[in-house]
Amino acid sequence: MNTTTLAAGTTGRPTEQDWAAAVNAVRSGLRPGARVLLVCHVNPDGDALGSMLGFAQGLRKLGVTSLQCTFPGALSVPEPLHMPAMDLLIPEGAADPAPDLLVTFDAASESRLGALVDRLETATVSLVLDHHASNTGFGKVSLVDPCAAATSVVAAELLRRLDVPLDREMAECLYIALVTDTGSFKFDLTTPEVHELAARLVAAGIDVGAISRRIFDSRPFGAVRMFGEVMGRAQLEPESAGGRGLVYAVATLDDLAKHQQPPYVLEALIDSVRCVAEADVALLLKQVAPAEWAVSMRSKGGADVSRIAVELGGGGHRLAAGFTGHGTAEQIIDAVRGRLAAQF
C-alpha cells in the first residue's frame, strides 16, 4: 500500500509535506460531482464522532454535496453524544461502495473499520486522520499525530489549512471530540495547542456548560446505583504491575439488566476506577456477551497499557487503551496481570 506518511511505530509528528498531501487528498474530493465517504471507528466515542461530523460540516462549506458519514455496526449514537450534523449519518450498508474520497477518523487500525475496511481499496483516494501512536500506517495518505490530544485536533488543523471558517455547529462537534479525549482538559496531552483550539471553538459560540453537563454530569439514577454496586466489588492488588498496583472492576450483563441500563452508560465508569490512588493501572471489564468483554485500561504513567492492548488484539494510547477480551473475566484479568508483570 502506498502510504505517504508515518510508518508504523514512529513517534514523529506530521511534516509539512504530510499536511500538503492531506490537503491535496481533500481537494480531490472537492471536484464537482465527487462522492465523499467519511468513516469513524466502530463503537464510536466523542472524538470519533465529533471529529468526523465536524469535518463533514467543513466539507459541506467547501462545496461537497455528495457526502456520507458512517461507522461499522448498528447506527445508534448514545444520547450524551448527540451533536449537530447527525443527519449526515447513514447506515454502513448504505455507504458508497467506491467513493472518490474516503476519510477515516480516530481509527488506529483497519480492524476498527469493520466491514467498511474494503473502502480503503475501492476508494480513489483514502485519507487517514488519527492520533494513536499505535496507528498501523494504513491508507493511501495518512495524517497521524501521536502528540495530538484528539483526532479533532488534526481535523481542525486540516480545516484551518483548507481555509474553512468555523461556525457554531462545526465547533460544537470538534469541541465534544476535544473535551472527551482530554477528559475535560485534564489528561497529559492537554497542550497549549489544545487550549488554543478550545479558545477558537468557544469563540464560535458554543455552550460549554450545557455540553459538559450533557456529556459528563448527567446519568440516570439506575446507572448511579449500578456504578455503586460494580465499584463495591472492585479489587485492589497493590503487588501487581511490579508493585505499582492494579485496580479492577467487572460490570456484567446482569448488572445492566438489573438496573435496566443500556451498555453505553458504562463508558463513564472507568473514570471511577482509575482514580484509585493506590494503583498505577486501572482495568474495567464490560461484558458484551457471555464470553466477550470490552476492556478499558488506564495507566498513571508507570505502565504502557497500549502495548498490552495491542498484544491482546486492541489498541489505544500509552495511558489509555482497550481491547475485546474472550473467555471469563478472571482469564482476561490474568492475561493483563501477566503482561503487566512482564513490563517491570
User: What are the residues facing 153 on neighbouring strands?
Assistant: none
By beta carbon distance, the residue nearest ligand 5GP is 322
Identity of the amino acid at 33: G
In the complex, minimum distance from the CB of residue 151 to Mn ion, in angstroms, rounded to a whole number = 5
- Classified as helix, coil or strand, 3 is coil
231-247 in b/e burial notation, b at 16+ Cβ within 10 A?
A: eeebeebeebbeebbbb
Identity of the amino acid at 76: S
The interface mask with Mn ion, positions 190-219, x = CB under 5 A, is ------------------------------
Query: Looking at beta carbons only, is 164 or 312 nearer to ligand 5GP?
Result: 312
> Quick one: cell of 290?
457471555
Give the one entry of ligand 5GP, Mn ion, none that residue 336 binds, where binding means its C-beta sits below a cut-off of 5 to 8 angstroms depending on kind: none
Q: Is 112 in the site for ligand 5GP (CB under 6 A)?
A: yes
- Residues 318, 280: contact at Cβ < 8 Å? no
Among positions 32-91, residues that touch ligand 5GP (CB under 6 A) are none
**Residue 266 DSSP label:** G
Q: How many CB atoms lie within 10 A of CB 25?
A: 24
Q: How many CB atoms lie within 10 A of CB 218?
A: 11
The interface mask with ligand 5GP, positions 228-267, x = CB under 6 A, is ----------------------------------------
Q: Is 267 in the site for Mn ion (CB under 5 A)?
A: no
Q: Which of 141, 314, 325, 336 binds ligand 5GP (CB under 6 A)?
A: 314
DSSP readout, 224-263? Answer: HHHHHHHHHT-EEETTHHHHT-EEEEEE-HHHHHHTT--G
Q: Is 317 in the site for ligand 5GP (CB under 6 A)?
A: yes
Q: Which of the ranges 91-99, 104-112, 191-199, 220-228 carries the binding residues for ligand 5GP, by CB under 6 A?
A: 104-112
Q: Tell me how far apart the alpha carbons of residues 38 and 51 are, in angstroms, rounded to a whole number.
A: 10
Give the one entry of ligand 5GP, Mn ion, none that residue 317 binds, where binding means its C-beta sits below a cut-off of 5 to 8 angstroms depending on kind: ligand 5GP
Give the one entry of Mn ion, ligand 5GP, none that residue 182 binds, where binding means its C-beta sits below a cut-off of 5 to 8 angstroms depending on kind: none
Instruction: Give the footprint of ligand 5GP on this chain (CB under 6 A).
Output: 108-109, 112, 270, 296, 314-317, 320-324
Q: Which residues bind Mn ion (CB under 5 A)?
A: 47, 106, 151, 181
